[in-house]
Structure 1
Amino acid sequence: MADPEGRAGTPHSLGYAHHRLRHHTEAIHYYQQSLALSRELGDQYNEATTLDRLGDTFHSADNHVDAHELWRRTGTILEDLACPAPRPV
Protein backbone atom coordinates (compact mmCIF):
# COMPACT_ATOMS: atom_id res chain seq x y z
CA MET A 1 0.00 0.00 0.00
CA ALA A 2 1.33 3.45 -0.91
CA ASP A 3 0.19 4.97 2.41
CA PRO A 4 0.85 2.49 5.23
CA GLU A 5 -0.24 5.00 7.90
CA GLY A 6 -3.58 5.27 6.12
CA ARG A 7 -4.01 1.56 6.65
CA ALA A 8 -4.19 2.15 10.41
CA GLY A 9 -6.01 5.47 10.10
CA THR A 10 -9.02 4.05 8.28
CA PRO A 11 -10.13 1.65 11.03
CA HIS A 12 -9.30 4.36 13.59
CA SER A 13 -11.74 6.72 11.85
CA LEU A 14 -14.37 3.98 11.63
CA GLY A 15 -13.90 3.29 15.33
CA TYR A 16 -14.39 6.98 16.11
CA ALA A 17 -17.56 7.13 14.02
CA HIS A 18 -19.02 4.06 15.71
CA HIS A 19 -18.06 5.42 19.14
CA ARG A 20 -19.90 8.66 18.41
CA LEU A 21 -22.93 6.62 17.29
CA ARG A 22 -22.71 4.69 20.58
CA HIS A 23 -22.02 1.43 18.72
CA HIS A 24 -19.44 0.38 21.27
CA THR A 25 -18.87 -3.19 20.06
CA GLU A 26 -18.15 -2.00 16.53
CA ALA A 27 -15.96 0.85 17.76
CA ILE A 28 -13.87 -1.54 19.85
CA HIS A 29 -13.49 -3.87 16.86
CA TYR A 30 -12.18 -1.10 14.58
CA TYR A 31 -9.94 0.44 17.23
CA GLN A 32 -8.39 -2.98 17.86
CA GLN A 33 -7.70 -3.31 14.11
CA SER A 34 -6.08 0.12 14.08
CA LEU A 35 -4.06 -0.74 17.17
CA ALA A 36 -2.70 -3.93 15.60
CA LEU A 37 -1.75 -2.08 12.41
CA SER A 38 -0.07 0.76 14.31
CA ARG A 39 1.98 -1.77 16.27
CA GLU A 40 2.88 -3.61 13.05
CA LEU A 41 4.11 -0.33 11.59
CA GLY A 42 5.96 0.58 14.80
CA ASP A 43 3.95 3.80 15.00
CA GLN A 44 3.86 4.40 18.75
CA TYR A 45 2.17 7.79 18.54
CA ASN A 46 -0.81 6.40 16.63
CA GLU A 47 -0.81 3.41 18.96
CA ALA A 48 -1.17 5.83 21.87
CA THR A 49 -3.94 7.85 20.25
CA THR A 50 -5.83 4.66 19.43
CA LEU A 51 -5.44 3.39 23.00
CA ASP A 52 -6.78 6.75 24.18
CA ARG A 53 -9.86 6.52 21.95
CA LEU A 54 -10.35 2.88 22.88
CA GLY A 55 -10.32 4.00 26.52
CA ASP A 56 -12.99 6.58 25.71
CA THR A 57 -15.13 3.83 24.18
CA PHE A 58 -14.72 1.51 27.16
CA HIS A 59 -15.59 4.42 29.47
CA SER A 60 -18.73 5.18 27.45
CA ALA A 61 -19.66 1.50 27.71
CA ASP A 62 -19.33 1.78 31.53
CA ASN A 63 -16.15 -0.30 31.66
CA HIS A 64 -14.21 2.21 33.74
CA VAL A 65 -11.50 -0.18 34.95
CA ASP A 66 -10.36 -1.09 31.44
CA ALA A 67 -10.74 2.53 30.30
CA HIS A 68 -8.37 3.77 33.00
CA GLU A 69 -5.85 1.02 32.18
CA LEU A 70 -5.91 2.02 28.49
CA TRP A 71 -5.44 5.68 29.42
CA ARG A 72 -2.54 4.71 31.70
CA ARG A 73 -0.91 2.83 28.80
CA THR A 74 -1.50 5.89 26.58
CA GLY A 75 0.28 8.09 29.08
CA THR A 76 3.22 5.70 29.35
CA ILE A 77 3.75 5.61 25.58
CA LEU A 78 3.45 9.38 25.23
CA GLU A 79 5.83 9.90 28.13
CA ASP A 80 8.35 7.61 26.42
CA LEU A 81 7.92 9.69 23.26
CA ALA A 82 8.21 12.94 25.26
CA CYS A 83 4.72 14.00 24.13
CA PRO A 84 2.14 15.48 26.50
CA ALA A 85 -0.67 13.17 27.63
CA PRO A 86 -4.11 14.12 26.30
CA ARG A 87 -5.50 13.97 29.86
CA PRO A 88 -4.15 13.36 33.34
CA VAL A 89 -3.56 9.65 33.93
Structure 2
Amino acid sequence: MFTYHITNELTLASLQLDDADSLFSLIQKNKAHLGEWLPWVHQCQSVEAVKTFIQSTQTTYNEQKGLEAGIQLNEQLIDPHYQSKPDTAFILKRYIRLSK
Protein backbone atom coordinates (compact mmCIF):
# COMPACT_ATOMS: atom_id res chain seq x y z
CA MET A 1 0.00 0.00 0.00
CA PHE A 2 1.23 3.44 -0.94
CA THR A 3 0.75 6.35 1.47
CA TYR A 4 2.25 9.81 1.19
CA HIS A 5 1.51 12.40 3.88
CA ILE A 6 1.45 15.83 2.27
CA THR A 7 0.40 17.62 5.47
CA ASN A 8 -1.00 16.43 8.78
CA GLU A 9 -4.49 16.55 7.26
CA LEU A 10 -3.81 15.76 3.60
CA THR A 11 -2.71 12.34 2.35
CA LEU A 12 -2.32 10.61 -0.97
CA ALA A 13 -2.97 6.90 -0.54
CA SER A 14 -3.54 3.94 -2.81
CA LEU A 15 -7.19 2.99 -3.10
CA GLN A 16 -8.39 0.17 -0.87
CA LEU A 17 -11.55 -1.92 -1.07
CA ASP A 18 -12.81 -0.03 2.00
CA ASP A 19 -12.85 3.10 -0.20
CA ALA A 20 -15.37 1.64 -2.66
CA ASP A 21 -18.52 3.25 -1.21
CA SER A 22 -16.90 6.67 -0.87
CA LEU A 23 -15.35 6.48 -4.32
CA PHE A 24 -18.64 5.42 -5.89
CA SER A 25 -20.37 8.38 -4.23
CA LEU A 26 -17.68 10.79 -5.49
CA ILE A 27 -18.01 9.36 -9.00
CA GLN A 28 -21.79 9.76 -9.02
CA LYS A 29 -21.59 13.37 -7.81
CA ASN A 30 -18.81 14.42 -10.20
CA LYS A 31 -18.99 12.00 -13.14
CA ALA A 32 -18.91 14.63 -15.91
CA HIS A 33 -15.89 16.43 -14.51
CA LEU A 34 -13.97 13.35 -13.40
CA GLY A 35 -14.69 11.62 -16.70
CA GLU A 36 -12.68 14.28 -18.52
CA TRP A 37 -9.55 13.29 -16.60
CA LEU A 38 -10.21 9.72 -15.50
CA PRO A 39 -11.93 7.75 -18.28
CA TRP A 40 -12.51 4.72 -16.07
CA VAL A 41 -15.22 6.53 -14.06
CA HIS A 42 -17.76 5.90 -16.84
CA GLN A 43 -17.32 2.14 -16.36
CA CYS A 44 -17.97 2.30 -12.60
CA GLN A 45 -21.75 1.96 -12.59
CA SER A 46 -21.98 0.18 -9.21
CA VAL A 47 -20.06 -0.31 -5.98
CA GLU A 48 -19.08 -3.79 -7.21
CA ALA A 49 -17.61 -2.28 -10.39
CA VAL A 50 -15.66 0.18 -8.24
CA LYS A 51 -14.30 -2.71 -6.16
CA THR A 52 -13.17 -4.46 -9.34
CA PHE A 53 -11.49 -1.25 -10.46
CA ILE A 54 -9.73 -0.84 -7.09
CA GLN A 55 -8.38 -4.37 -7.34
CA SER A 56 -6.99 -3.57 -10.79
CA THR A 57 -5.29 -0.45 -9.40
CA GLN A 58 -3.41 -2.59 -6.91
CA THR A 59 -2.03 -4.68 -9.78
CA THR A 60 -1.05 -1.52 -11.69
CA TYR A 61 0.80 -0.21 -8.64
CA ASN A 62 2.51 -3.54 -7.92
CA GLU A 63 3.72 -3.68 -11.54
CA GLN A 64 5.01 -0.08 -11.19
CA LYS A 65 2.88 1.11 -14.11
CA GLY A 66 1.16 3.94 -12.29
CA LEU A 67 -0.72 4.96 -9.20
CA GLU A 68 -4.46 5.29 -8.92
CA ALA A 69 -4.91 6.79 -5.50
CA GLY A 70 -7.22 8.82 -3.38
CA ILE A 71 -6.61 12.25 -1.98
CA GLN A 72 -7.75 12.13 1.62
CA LEU A 73 -8.50 15.07 3.89
CA ASN A 74 -8.62 14.06 7.55
CA GLU A 75 -8.79 10.42 6.44
CA GLN A 76 -11.87 11.07 4.26
CA LEU A 77 -11.59 10.39 0.53
CA ILE A 78 -12.18 13.68 -1.29
CA ASP A 79 -10.88 13.01 -4.81
CA PRO A 80 -9.58 10.16 -6.95
CA HIS A 81 -6.18 10.75 -8.49
CA TYR A 82 -4.02 9.12 -11.17
CA GLN A 83 -0.33 9.78 -11.50
CA SER A 84 2.14 7.94 -13.66
CA LYS A 85 4.86 9.44 -11.43
CA PRO A 86 4.09 11.09 -8.06
CA ASP A 87 4.18 14.88 -8.28
CA THR A 88 3.54 16.60 -4.96
CA ALA A 89 3.18 20.09 -6.46
CA PHE A 90 0.37 18.94 -8.76
CA ILE A 91 -1.42 17.24 -5.87
CA LEU A 92 -1.21 20.36 -3.70
CA LYS A 93 -2.53 22.60 -6.48
CA ARG A 94 -5.44 20.22 -6.98
CA TYR A 95 -6.20 20.18 -3.25
CA ILE A 96 -6.20 23.98 -3.08
CA ARG A 97 -8.68 24.11 -5.98
CA LEU A 98 -10.94 21.53 -4.28
CA SER A 99 -10.92 23.27 -0.92
CA LYS A 100 -12.23 26.61 -2.28
Q: Provide the TM-score with structure 2 as the length reference.
A: 0.33
Higher strand fraction (1 or 2): 2
Task: Kindly indicate whether structure 1 or structure 2 has the higher relative contact order, using CA contacts under 8 Å at least 6 residues apart.
Answer: 2
Higher helix fraction (1 or 2): 1
